[in-house]
Amino acid sequence: MILEKIAELQKEVEQLKARNAEEVEQLRQKYLSRKGVITELMNDFRQVPAEEKKTVGMKINVLKQLAQERIALLKQETEVQEQADEAVDLTRTPYPTPLGTRHPLTIVTNEIIDIFSRMGFVLADGPEVEDDLHVFTKMNFAADHPARDMQDTFFVSQHPNDVTKNILLRSHTSSVQARVMEHMHTADGLLTAPIRVICPGRVYRNEAITARAHCFFHQVEGLYIDKNVSFTDLKQVLLSFAREMFGPDTKIRLRPSYFPFTEPSAEMDISCFICGGEGCGFCKHTGWVEILGCGMVDPNVLEKCGIDPNIYSGYAFGMGVERITNLKYRVSDLRMFSENDTRFLREFESA
């Protein structure tokens, strides 16, 4: 009878479980205390016949040791779990953690890169903290150009006696074009290979932050330099881009403009895809929406970057990613792009 009871208790002890220190203590009192189950077995042991005492005694000791080891293990496990629970950051988002989504600027940037990559353009990158030489001087900006003033540009350090040594936050990604050009030619001004790159990145300008302007934003600029490159090549590339980005029925128009690094220069408009060019509030009833600037690379820029302008020509273009994103998704406030408002970002989960 006592052997059967020991066997049942052994199976019971092997399956003991506890969720916290309080339950472990309850198990200890139940099996190992002075009034516990194993102590009662020891009292019953007195009535066991002499010839069975050795066998029964050994089994009781085995049961007691098993109970001690099992309860000690449960105690250790609950202590580890309690320490882990105390280390939990209660400010974290509760489970299940919602999946994130790509930022609208990332979505549009990737789409622009994909379109131009299929035309043969490759990615180029450069530093955001730049020198005046690559941002302005090699881009044909005059020494007294307003862009070099403190009210327009964020300077890290300035050298009054030599502006080319000024260090600043780049105000356009044209500095990447300058770096690409100066590394893609031989000593006699010949290109080692045709240049066809796009340069996406963040740029900085000293402007008041409003719904229509920000002190930092994103650009994608393109550059193509080779022999016999014409304005017609530029126009066809931009027309193909506009139709890929805004729809196959999109029309473009080029208006004369001025940029220090291109000549001739132009602003490009697309036909309003909301009203189909008939005129609406979005396009200010003109039927056209401006999206980018472009032009033929000024020979002075080629020469400053070590490329022979008598042999090579090229075109360049640049667009603001926020501008394109506004057109595609009709975001009225530029500040929304950098405020990390999850309600705003969740609107692009399916994009």
Spell out the per-residue pLDDT of the chain, length 351, in tens: 777 777 787 788 788 888 888 888 888 888 888 878 777 777 776 777 777 777 777 877 887 888 888 888 888 888 877 777 666 677 777 777 777 788 999 999 999 999 999 999 999 999 999 999 999 999 998 877 777 776 788 999 988 788 778 899 999 999 999 999 999 999 888 999 999 999 999 999 988 888 888 899 999 999 999 999 999 999 999 999 999 999 898 999 999 999 999 999 999 999 987 777 777 777 788 889 899 999 999 999 999 999 999 999 999 999 999 989 988 888 878 888 888 888 888 888 765
Q: What is the total residue count of the chain? A: 351
Give the C-alpha separation, 32 to 58, whole Å.
Answer: 17
Q: Output the pTM of the full model.
A: 0.70
Q: Are 175 and 134 in contact (CB under 8 A)?
A: yes
Which residue is listed with tokens 């027309």? 239
DSSP 3-state assignment of 9? helix
d(CA 251, CA 277): 9
At position 118, the amino acid (one-letter code) is: R
**Dihedral of CA 180/186/190/194: which sign?**
negative
Tell me the C-alpha distance between 246 and 18, whole Å.
Answer: 63
Note whether 241 and 115 are within 8 A (CB).
Answer: yes
Bridging pattern class, strands 195-204 and 216-226: antiparallel
